[in-house]
Structure 1
Amino acid sequence: MEFIDLATWKRKEHFEFFHRMDYPQFNICANIDVTNFLNFVRTKQISFYYAMIYAATYAANQIIDFRYRIRENKLILHDKLHPSFTDLNDNETDLFKLVTVEMKDDLLEFVKYAEAESNNQQNYFNLEKLAGRDDLIYITCIPWISFTHLSHTISLNKNDSVPKISWGKYFSENNKILLPFSVQVNHALMDGVHIGRYFSYLQDYINRKKE
């Protein structure tokens, strides 16, 4: 982690412009092609959800703009981001838990590790793992709906700068399997071009997973 000098940061004017807003968040939804990736996870007999968590976090780590955070009106840059994701606690209550894990270098290792961590977590919110941390990506999934738009609950804190990533129910179209995918970020830190770059990194990564 390092502190960034706002006075000399290339985005200084954009930061100041959007940081004045009461609600500087914006959200973009688009479909991604998961045809190859779905075949990959089925061949490996692993969870599509945990594999997508890895892919989503991997792509975010490749883009410096996703690693910036606003902390007490100061700008910091993290070296690495880690996923904090929702998971259904059981099928009887329909209540979810929030699971925070460390990012791994290998997808298969991560899937095994994340699934074990989720299964072992008994409480809904492990606040000790969240305390004082903003080196995270918040991730959730709504696998019952192929949505076209999504908004997140948020405190009206203009320093809230942890990206929020979601996806819905995949569907077939023109011989492809498409997944509705949502990215919500703080506009003081990035623009649409950076979200577009994220989608490109993500699509490229999941396209390469064919075996």
Structure 2
Amino acid sequence: MKIVDIDRWNRKEHFEFFSQMASPYFGLTTEVDCTQAYDMAKKKGYSFFAYYYHKSMVAINTVEELKLRIIDGQVIQFDTVHAGSTIGRPDGTFGFSFTHFSEDFETFNAGLQEEIKGVHATTGLRLSNERLGKDHVRHTTIPWNSFSAIVHPTDFNTAESVPKIAFGRFNLKDGRKYLPVSIEAHHGLADGIHIAQYLKEFQRQLDLD
């Protein structure tokens, strides 16, 4: 973890410009081809959600700008960011989970499965924003529907700087599976090129054997 020297930062003016806005957030919704990842997950007996969730986190951790956070008026760059996600319960509610990131899927998945058990054994949200901290990325999945746009609840606080990613139900097109993915970030910390880098790496990860 390091503190960014804003006065020497090549994003100084961008950061100051967007941080003055009541809503400094931007994002986009697109699709990634998840055919190979789906087939591989089923072949190996993995949860498809766990499999693509891990690949999303691998991709996030390759983009330095998506690991920047605003904390106590300073811009902090984390070495590694972790995985936060909503987890559904049988009663129709959800709870928040926090899974430490690991490049190794088996290690990551073991932590995720413990978090899923923890959510199912509790009620309410389970984790507060204070307990989650800033060194994570918020994920949610809407497994019942695909989508081409999504609106997130937003605290209009210019220091709110944790990116948000949402996934939907995959679509079938010409025999291929396409996963909807929406990503939102603080524009003072990241631009479209950085989201494009995440999506490119996410697609590359999904295509790996």
How far apart are the structure 2 equivalents of 1:183 and 1:128?
22
Supply the AA of the counterpart residue of 1:104.
Answer: S
Corresponding residue pairs, total: 207
Map of 2:158 onto structure 1:
158
Which runs of structure 2 are paired with 1:20-169 in the superposition (5 Å)? 20-90=20-90, 93-121=91-119, 122-123=121-122, 124-127=124-127, 130-131=130-131, 133-169=133-169
Q: Contact between 1:167 and 1:181, CA under 8 Å: does it hold in 2? A: yes
How far apart are the structure 1 equivalents of 2:138 and 2:9?
26
Distance 1:132 1:166, change over 3 A: closer
How far apart are the structure 1 equivalents of 2:28 and 2:39?
26
* TM superposition shift of 1:87: 0.9
Distance 1:132 1:108, change over 3 A: closer
Q: Contact between 2:96 and 2:127, CA under 8 Å: does it hold in 1? A: no
How far apart are the structure 2 equivalents of 1:72 and 1:149?
32
| 3-state SS of 1:7 partner | helix
* TM superposition shift of 1:130: 4.6
Map of 2:8 onto structure 1:
8
The range that moved more, 6-15 or 119-128, is: 119-128
Distance 1:71 1:20, change over 3 A: same
User: How big is the alpha-carbon RMSD for the aligned residues of Structure 1 and Structure 2?
Assistant: 1.4
* Structure 2 residues without counterparts, runs of 5 or longer: none
Supply the AA of the counterpart residue of 2:65.
Answer: D
Supply the AA of the counterpart residue of 1:54.
Answer: H
Distance 1:129 1:104, change over 3 A: farther
Q: Percent identity?
A: 28
Supply the AA of the counterpart residue of 1:60.
Answer: I
> TM-score, with normalisation over the residues of structure 1?
0.93
How far apart are the structure 2 equivalents of 1:47 and 1:129?
27
The range that moved more, 116-125 or 135-144, is: 116-125
Distance 1:128 1:164, change over 3 A: closer
Q: Deviations over 1:13-57 (max 9, x none)?
A: 111111111000112100100000000100011111111211111
How far apart are the structure 2 equivalents of 1:94 and 1:126?
15
Residue 170 of structure 2 corresponds to residue 170 of structure 1: yes
Q: Contact between 1:163 and 1:184, CA under 8 Å: does it hold in 2? A: yes
* Structure 1 residues without counterparts, runs of 5 or longer: none
* TM superposition shift of 1:72: 2.3
How far apart are the structure 1 equivalents of 2:64 and 2:50?
23
Distance 1:152 1:120, change over 3 A: same
